Amino acid sequence: MPARLIFILAVILSIGAIAKMAVQLFGFFENNAEILNASTEVNEIVRVIYIDYVISGRGLNSLPKDLFSDYLRKRIKIDDSMRDPAKDPWLMSYRITVRPGDRYEIRSAGPDLEFNTNDDIIATGG
């Protein structure tokens, strides 16, 4: 009887360990999908800004930073139609930094939800 009880406990513990690994693995793949989505989106934002402001000759100074989210909502289409196009997959607003010479950077805060850290997702244009 004790050997059978030990066997049953070992099986239960094994199933628990496998379930825990499955949850961690799912989180890994889910996070990578969000990173891929954000990367695709920041590159699309760079492309649209380049067309609307750089090629057209309007210049980035005519892009009002306080209306950047509104601009993204009008110009960017994302697959997940329920999510605001001005926000990354973690629901943080995309940021633009304009540099001299019509250079610019689009940034997502990334999975840690903090800007200017190692996991930020960045695309540059200009």
User: How large is the average pLDDT for residues 16-33?
Assistant: 55
44-58: pLDDT as tens digits: 999 999 999 989 888
Q: How far apart are CA 20 and CA 74, in angstroms?
A: 42
CA 57 to chain centre: 30
Higher pLDDT, 51 or 64: 51
Mean pLDDT check: name the lowest of 5-14, 29-38, 113-122.
5-14
Higher pLDDT, 31 or 66: 66
pTM comes to 0.74
Task: Kindly state the tokens that stand for 100.
Answer: 């001299």
82-93: pLDDT as tens digits: 889 999 999 999
User: Quick check: 104 and 95 in contact, CB under 8 A?
Assistant: no
